[in-house]
Amino acid sequence: MIDIKLIRDNPELVRENIRRKFQDHRLPLVDQALELDRKNRETILAADTLRAKRNSLSKEIGGLMQQGKREEAESIKQQVKAMQDELADLEAREGEYEAQLREVMLQIPQIMDASVPLGKNDQENVEMNRYGEPLVPAFEVPYHVDIMERLSGIDLDSARKTSGSGFYYLLGDVARLHSAVLAYARDFMIDRGFTYVIPPYMIRSEVVTGVMSFAEMENMMYKIEGEDLYLIGTSEHSMIGKFIDTMLSDDQLPQALTSYSPCFRKEVGAHGIEERGVYRIHQFEKQEMIVLCKPEDSMAWYDRLWQNTVDFFRTLDIPVRTLACCTGDLADLKVISCDVEAWSPRQQKYFEVGSCSNLGDAQARRLAIRARDSEGRRFLPHTLNNTVVAPPRMLIAFLENNLQEDGSVRIPEALRPYMGGKERIG
What residues are labeled active site? 265, 280, 352, 355, 393
- 330: nearest Cα among 360, 305, 288: 360
For 157-300, strand residue ranges (E) read 169-170, 195-197, 202-203, 222-223, 230-231, 247-249, 255-264, 283-293
51, 87 Cβ separation under 8 angstroms: yes
Report the relative pairing of strands 169-170 and 154-155 from DSSP bridges: antiparallel
Rounded to 10 deg, the angle between the 172-191 and 393-402 helix axes is: 100
Cα 225 to Cα 41: distance, rounded to the nearest angstrom: 39
Residues in Cβ contact with 143 at an 8 Å cutoff, skipping those fewer than 6 apart: 277, 346
Distance CA 321, CA 128 (A): 7
Cα torsion 272, 217, 242, 308: sign: positive
Helix axes 70-105, 28-66, angle to 10 degrees: 160
For residue 297, the 8-state DSSP code is G
Question: Is the CB of residue 330 less than 8 Å from the CB of residue 213?
Answer: no
Q: Please name every residue paired with 410 in a beta bridge, in sequence order, or none if there are none.
A: 424
Strands (E), 273-381: 283-293, 320-324, 336-344, 349-358, 370-372, 378-379
